[in-house]
């Protein structure tokens, strides 16, 4: 099993193992492409027939579909919900049951395969702390002015939004931080202190499913137009 971070345009083609050979043995069109698994998928409309595509499964739970319904179709990196709608499926908004893959020659809904393993982990709260609340470990970002790393605590939605926006803003400065009154003159945390990231499992955890969240209603925002938030919002509605 692989634990992945956010998947961006700069994805590295580093081979990871998401599923065993036995889990994928009877599945059609399986292809390992660096950090994801590709399989042939489709969605059936009673009016238009089968729309076929290529489903990409990433270790952080992301799902992308490149549509191949017609030779001229250029729809790429679609969410399963968007692919379901694009196919003309009459009973849309149930993509887990309507989008299928071919297993042993039969069309099988995604919900009955192993392909949603990482999606379900990221959206159903496997990263909850012992009291049942969604948990996010502290993260670090570098100031564009002094190049010092600053800690971002992600306990509330407001704190998560600040971190989310600053990840996208490469010119943020220490003085911009709303919660910590810091300037570029303040010392950076020592390396021995940085190892403590607030994980509920272990104080010195380097990243696990208890403290690394791959997407939830606390750290994703419906009013944000970035691809990460847009995909999460669409999948939740689906």
Reported as a single tens digit per residue, the pLDDT across 90-129 is 776 789 899 999 999 999 999 999 998 877 655 444 445 4
pLDDT value for 199: 79
Mean pLDDT of the chain: 82
**What is the structure's pLDDT at 214?**
76
Give per-residue pLDDT as tens, 45-65: 988 899 999 999 988 778 899
Using one digit for the tens of pLDDT, what is the confidence trace for 192-226? 889 888 877 777 888 876 677 878 888 999 899 99
Burial of 62 (0-12, 13-18, 19+ CB in 10 A): buried
pLDDT of residue 124: 44
| pLDDT attached to residue 77 | 83
8 Å CB contact between 136 and 218: yes
Q: Convert the pLDDT of each residue in 180-190 to its tens digit.
A: 788 999 999 99
The reported pLDDT for the residue numbered 146 is: 97
Q: Tell me the three state secondary structure of residue 158.
A: helix
Given this model, what pLDDT does residue 120 score?
64
Q: What is the pLDDT of residue 23?
A: 87
DSSP run (H or E) holding 52:
strand 49-57
- Encoding tokens for residue 175? 């003085």
Mean pLDDT over residues 21-42, rounded?
Answer: 89
Residues whose CB falls within 8 Å of the CB of residue 133, separated by 6 or more in sequence, listed in order: none
Give 5's pLDDT tier (boundaries 50, 70, 90). very low
| Across 146-151, average pLDDT | 96
pLDDT confidence of residue 142: 96
Per-residue pLDDT band at 78 (split at 50, 70, 90) = confident
Structure-block tokens of residue 70: 């017609």
Instruction: Determine what percent of the chain is predicted with pLDDT higher than 90.
Output: 36
C-alpha separations of 140 from 42, 104, 234 in Å? 40, 46, 28
Tell me the backbone φ, ψ of residue 129, rounded to 5 degrees: -80, 180
Spatial distance between the Cα atoms of 37 and 54, rounded to a whole number of angstroms? 10
CA of residue 217 relative to chain centroid, distance: 13
């Amino acid at each position: 099993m692989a634990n992945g971070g956010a998947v961006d345009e700069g994805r590295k083609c580093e081979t990871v193992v998401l599923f065993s050979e036995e889990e994928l043995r009877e599945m059609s069109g399986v292809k390992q492409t660096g950090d994801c698994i590709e399989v042939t998928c489709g969605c059936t409309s009673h009016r238009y027939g089968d729309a076929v595509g290529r489903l990409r499964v990433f270790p952080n739970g992301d799902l992308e579909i490149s549509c191949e319904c017609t030779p001229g179709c250029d729809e790429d990196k679609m969410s399963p919900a968007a692919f379901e709608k694009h196919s003309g499926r009459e009973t849309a908004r149930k993509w887990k049951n309507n989008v299928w893959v071919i297993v042993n020659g039969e069309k099988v809904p995604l919900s009955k395969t192993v392909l949603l393993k990482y999606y379900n982990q990221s959206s159903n709260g496997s990263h909850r702390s012992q009291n049942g609340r969604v948990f996010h470990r502290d993260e670090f970002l570098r100031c564009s002015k002094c190049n010092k790393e600053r800690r971002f605590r992600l306990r509330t939605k407001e704190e998560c939004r600040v971190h989310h926006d600053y990840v996208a803003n490469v010119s943020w400065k220490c003085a911009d931080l709303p919660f910590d009154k810091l300037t570029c003159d303040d010392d950076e945390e020592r390396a021995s202190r940085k190892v403590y990231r607030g994980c509920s499992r272990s104080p010195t955890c380097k990243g696990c499913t208890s403290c690394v969240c791959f997407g939830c209603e606390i750290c994703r925002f419906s009013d944000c137009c970035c691809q990460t938030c847009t995909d999460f919002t669409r999948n939740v509605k689906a």
